[in-house]
Structure 1
Amino acid sequence: MVDPISAPTSEKGYVGPSSQWWASPDEEETPELRWPLNVGVYDRMRRQDAQVISVIRAVTLPIRRTAWRIDPNGARPEVAQQVADDLGLQLVGEGDRPVLRTRDRFSWSGHLRLALLMLTFGHSVFEQVYRIDEAGLARLRKLAWRPPKTISQVDVAADGGLVAIHQHGQNGAKGAKMGVERLAVYTNDREGGNWLGQSLLRPAYKYWLLKDRLLRVQAQTVDRNGMGVPIYEGSKLPDSVTGEERTQREQKEMDAGLKLARGLRSGDSSGGSIPNGAKVTMQGVQGNLPDADKPIRYYDEQIARAVLAHFLNLGTETGSWALGSTFADFFTLSLQTVAKEIADITTQHVIEDLVDINWGPNEPAPKLVFEEIGSRHPATAEAIKALIECGALRADQKLEEHLRTTYGLPAADSETAREFKPAPATTSPPRQQPQEPRPGRP
């Protein structure tokens, strides 16, 4: 019998108070980045700044581009096949097969794109929706996305486990509450019970804000000083005009001159007239204008550094491409980690839930896997042939399936397979010996 003291089965500590999100507003020092205000800030960052969207696409597009498959992982063939069909993916080692109809079916590519929004907002929430087929089995119909701006509350247990997520109501209706048993929640850098996570853009916010302000100042500087500021100098009045009349005429001319200067524009039909003796000049800046390019470039570099995307700064930060491969290796490793986290969450909260509903919790479940991002395949046909001939490899079914999967070749078809016949060796005609030159001839 196991001693319960040596093998505790319950928790005494906690990570935060239950029934609500544990993090207080004091956890975030910047007021506008406290949830839920930060959702709108991160949304503006990804929509308004070219460097920010480049960083996000550099992180997400390779993950979306790589091949995702279902590994049977010891599950029965029919179980693995149904999971692969429901997710619209191929089985490991399986060649391309006809794609099922996509209408009213789950789309993995669409789901992956929305799941990766956890990097932008810190979290991405999905609600499981099934349909019952003719055999009475639950089939995955969709993972319905619940946008971050619609979430009103997150219920968390004392041990940090997720309990439920609430949404704002629409058109006066009561908001929805979804229990954890029907949710799949992707969270970036979750700590304890913080199921809202942390945005990948959080370290870049300061530089984005300073860059945005500097860009506005730079635009105003060019706009105001590109052709100079119009200055109107009034005409000299006769000495006979004195007193109140002189003051009124001077003020009247200054008002007209101010209106003329403010309305000065360039164009084919632009022009103006001024009194005799008056003058309009374009006053430029005295001295040098501040150079905003360097700080703007620096802010762009820091935004890229926030996600290890140093290669986006090549040519500006380092001045050369010599370190490109090193930067790319670190960046690829970070993408591998993100993809692995997505695969684990999908396996635990989508695939295993689907298997539990249809076959029970004791049924072995497949798992989601992906090809190595940025992987290279240096094993050419000549290299594989040499490895087999020297005995380092043996040509078997698994090797063939792996090579077909790796190089995107169709699955083997035993009915139409043809026996390989090497081409007959060709014999070249004998070479003619060069004739010796005759005596007396050059």
Structure 2
Amino acid sequence: MVEIGYQSGSGVSGWGALAAETHETNPDLQWPNSIDVFDRMRREDTQVKSVLRAVTLPIMRTEWVIDGTGCRPEVVEHVARDLGLKVKGEAFQAPVRSKGRFSFQEFLRLALLELVYGHSFFEQVYDQSDGETHLRKLAWRPPRTIADIETATDGGLVALKQAGANGKDDVVIPVDRLVVFTNEREGANWLGESLLRSAYKMWVLKDRVLRIQALTAERNGLGMPVATSAPPPEDASFDELKAWMDEQIAANLELVKNARAGESAGASIAHGAKFEFVGVSGDLPDTDKPIRYYDEQIARGVLAHFLNLGTETGSWALGSTFANFFTDSLNAVAQHIAEVTNQHVIEDLVDLAFSEDEPAPKLVPAAIGEQQPVTAESIRALVECGAIEVDERLEAWLRERFGAPVKDSATTRVRPAQVRAEGAA
């Protein structure tokens, strides 16, 4: 009944043990150096930024609800109110004030940073000022502040240690106060693996080519100014000839250094002298092609092939095929976020506010990329065939969907068909 083997036990202490658990061989990407590298990648490279936005924004944009199937209504209401989410199948009642309340969108944005760094840690903070236990906030713990992660031999998380701030001692947060999001965790590697890890090589090579491209344009874009002196005097002695040549070289050097284009620019040279801009002979290297290739590989790492469509990789006709794989990956990430939140946020909240035997509701994200467009024709067909019936909630939702004003019973007009029906009755 007890495990014999282990998942954690590198024999190294401190942050070195964390680096050893990741099995990272690149010194630049060994923790904690990887934090600075991944920060540079997402802030400096437009393709990396586009890839991360393509992954995170649909997950943040989709609808997140609380599914209270099999749970008591008061438990479902308590969880939904603390998380600021609507209950599945019920109208959403927004709180009167949002100041000082838990923001699920902000929590979700920070949780998705696990895709950047490989991990994202939160500390649970509760409030019992009114006699009940409420979730006040999930406080994010930045990766730069992590000093150590204590794990058990079976790979389970024991505690998180944060480096002391302002000369204070290190802070230890036990596992029962933590909510940990780790991307593709294996064994005791609670640092996870960044979504940008496979794109690192392409990013480095692309950065080098971009620098070469800029240098090529700077040095060869307008050519090199070259000045050639007139023929030397024929009857001059050796010393006079040497002095004359030194004088010409200095004058020509001054001329090419001050060579500028402009409305009043120009140059005056002696008879027989020559001044010109000399360009590179032959073709310059084509740096656009490798840059496009590196961008394609960066997008391919997250199945975002469609970011390169319309350039050199195909037509937009392939977009639907590529989008299916991409949306499947987004749904998998959203499901991962929901599972961790259900286990370590909602269930912990229900345990503290009610009891450990109380059934807990679940956080459910709407499927990304699977909703059909809502049109007037489709609604009419569903109503006429009896698949759905028009009620107050459906009408309110349709008005919101089509941007129509909220229904006002005081100004509601009687429809002609309804007048005829009432007269016949």
Shorter-chain TM-score range: 0.7 to 0.9
| 1:324 alignment partner in structure 2 | 319
1:45 paired to 2:21: no
Q: 2:348 aligns with which of 336, 344, 353?
A: 353
Mapping 1:144-223, distance limit 5 Å: 144-223=139-218
Alpha-carbon distance, 1:37 to partner? 0.9
SS of alignment partner, residue 202 of structure 1? coil
Aligned counterpart in structure 1 of residue 8 of structure 2, from 3, 6, 16: 16
Whole-angstrom distance in 1 between the partners of 2:173 and 2:247: 71
Which whole-Å CA distance do the structure 2 matches of 1:138 and 1:256 have between them? 85
Write the letter of the residue equivalent to 1:11: E
1:266 matched to 2:261 = yes
The CA distance in 2 between the partners of 1:166 and 1:265, in whole Å, is 61
| Counterpart amino acid of residue 60 in structure 2 | R
Number of the residue aligned with 1:381: 379
Instruction: Compute the displacement of 1:231 (Å).
Output: 1.6
1: CA distance, partners of 2:399 / 2:372: 9
Cα 1:262/1:162, change in 2 over 3 Å: farther
Residue type matched to 2:295 in 1?
D
CA distance in 1, matches of 2:22, 2:143: 21
* CA displacement, residues 163-187 of structure 1 (integer Å, 9 cap, x when unaligned): 2222233333333222221111111
Instruction: Tell me the percent identity.
Output: 52
> Which ranges in structure 2 are unaligned for 5 or more consecutive residues?
421-425
Query: Residue 199 of structure 2: SS of its match in structure 1?
Result: helix
Aligned-residue offset at 1:339: 0.3
Query: 1:244-277 CA deviation, whole Å, 9 max, x = no partner?
Result: 5543443343244334323433334544555554
Q: How far does residue 152 in structure 1 lie from its aligned partner after superposition?
A: 2.3
Q: What displacement does 1:42 show?
A: 1.0
CA-atom RMSD in angstroms: 3.1
Cα distance change of structure 1 residues 370 and 326 upon mapping to structure 2, 3 Å threshold: same
Selected match of 1:115 from 111, 114, 122:
111
Distance 2:254 2:187 in 1: 64
Q: Could you tell me the TM-score, scaled by structure 2's length?
A: 0.86
Q: Check conservation: 2:22, 2:191, Cα contact below 8 A.
A: no
Matches of 1:343 and 1:197 in 2, distance apart? 18
1:279/1:169 Cα in 2 relative to 1: closer, same or farther (>3 Å)?
farther
Shift of 1:69: 0.9
Is 1:68 the counterpart of 2:64? The answer is yes
Distance 2:30 2:163 in 1: 18
Structure 2 CA distance for aligned equivalents of residues 193 and 203 of structure 1: 21
Deviation at 1:385, TM superposition (A): 2.5
Change (3 A) 1:68 1:407: farther
Instruction: Name the CA distance, whole Å, in 1 between partners of 2:20 and 2:60.
Output: 35
Identify if the C-alpha distance between structure 1 residues 396 and 321 changes in structure 2 by more than 3 Å, giving closer, same or farther. closer
Going from structure 1 to structure 2, the CA distance change for 1:107 and 1:236 (only over 3 Å counts) comes to: same
CA separation of 1:185 and 1:26: change in aligned 2, threshold 3 A: closer
Using a 3 Å threshold, how does the CA distance of structure 1 residues 394 and 293 change in structure 2: closer, same or farther?
Answer: closer
**What's the CA shift for 1:110?**
0.9
Paired residues of 1:25 and 1:34 also in contact (CA < 8 A): no
Q: C-alpha distance in 2, partners of 1:158/1:39?
A: 26
User: What is the aligned partner in structure 1 of residue 423 from structure 2?
Assistant: none
Match of 1:59 among 44, 52, 55: 55
**How far is 1:12 from its partner?**
1.2
Q: CA deviation at 1:281?
A: 1.6
Measured against aligned partners, the alpha-carbon deviations of 1:179-212 in whole angstroms (never above 9, x if no partner) come to: 2211111111111111111111111111111111
- 1:439 is aligned to none
- Give the count of matched residue pairs: 408
From the superposition, tell whether residues 236 and 317 of structure 1 become closer, same or farther in structure 2 (CA, over 3 Å): closer
CA deviation map 1:223-248 (0-9, x unaligned): 22221111232343324444455434
1:301–1:317: 8 Å Cα contact kept in structure 2?
Answer: no
Change (3 A) 1:302 1:403: farther
Aligned partner of 1:238 among 233, 237, 242: 233
Provide the C-alpha distance between the structure 2 equivalents of 1:422 and 1:335, rounded to a whole number of angstroms: 48
Q: CA deviation at 1:405?
A: 6.7
**2:18–2:191: 8 Å Cα contact kept in structure 1?**
no
Relative to 1, partners in 2 of residues 1:123 and 1:262: Cα closer, same or farther, differing over 3 Å? farther
Q: Which has the higher helix share?
A: 2
* Structure of higher CA gyration radius: 1
Q: TM-score, normalised by structure 1?
A: 0.83
Letter in 2 for 1:68: W
Q: Deviations over 1:106-131 (max 9, x none)?
A: 10111111111111111111112222
Q: 1:375 to 1:253 in 2, by over 3 A?
A: same
CA shift in 2, pair 1:98/1:221, >3 Å: same
Change (3 A) 1:404 1:333: farther
Contact kept? 2:185, 2:192, Cα under 8 Å: yes
1:30 to 23, 26, 29: 26
Q: Residues 227 and 275 of structure 2 are in contact (CA less than 8 Å); yes or no, is this contact kept in structure 1?
A: yes
Q: The residue matched to 1:178 in structure 2 has which SS?
A: strand
